[in-house]
Amino acid sequence: MKDFKELFESYPLPATEEQIKADVKNIIDKRFEQVDRLSTCKELFAHLELTTLKVTDNEDTVKALVEKVNDMDEHFPELSKPMGICVYPSLVETVKNSLTEDVKIVTVIGFPSSQTYLEVKVAETALALSYGADEIDMVLPVGKFLQGNYDEVFDEISEIKDCCRGAKLKVILETGALVSI
């Protein structure tokens, strides 16, 4: 068993919502003047993913999003391209076939709740990569985590990472589902 208790204790969290708010206010008060510039906003844009994860997404809506990225130089020459375009796995190939710019193709697995079988997540990962995904974003199995099944969560992330074969893997933390401290 991995020693998760020791790991978690090495990252103490603020004890109250008020403390978190105070910490955020402190960061903003110290740094706002340094980063409140147009140049900072432009730089940050290059680190964003344009994402569409709507139930109504289809080939046409995704192609329209991709065309906005393809045409950015014409409409927004002062901006860098976004880092990636994130879509459902079934639409990765649409992005791949429509994209003319050097932008990563990102997809989600186990989205939005991670409430499916690990085998399904592995298959979804492998298929998405075979259709052109550069990056996989998996949802942390929050239910297992909250139950204290840290080894199982660790093993699931490890198995998905192995399936990625060098492609980037990010783990989505559905923090909105967590109760306040």
The Cα–Cα gap between 122 and 179 comes to 29
- Is 11 or 71 the better-scoring residue by pLDDT? 71
What local confidence, expressed as pLDDT, does residue 12 receive?
A: 76
- List pLDDT tens digits, range 125-161: 999 999 999 999 999 999 998 898 999 999 999 999 9
Per-domain boundaries in the chain: 15-45, 49-177
Q: Are strands 168-172 and 135-139 parallel, antiparallel or unpaired?
A: parallel
pTM beyond 0.95, yes or no: no
Query: Does residue 1 have a pLDDT over 50?
Result: no
The Cα–Cα gap between 157 and 140 comes to 8
- Is 179 or 166 the better-scoring residue by pLDDT? 166
Tell me, which fold does domain 49-177 have in CATH?
TIM Barrel (3.20.20)
Query: Does residue 71 have a pLDDT over 60?
Result: yes
**50-54, 83-87, 109-113: the lowest-pLDDT one:** 109-113
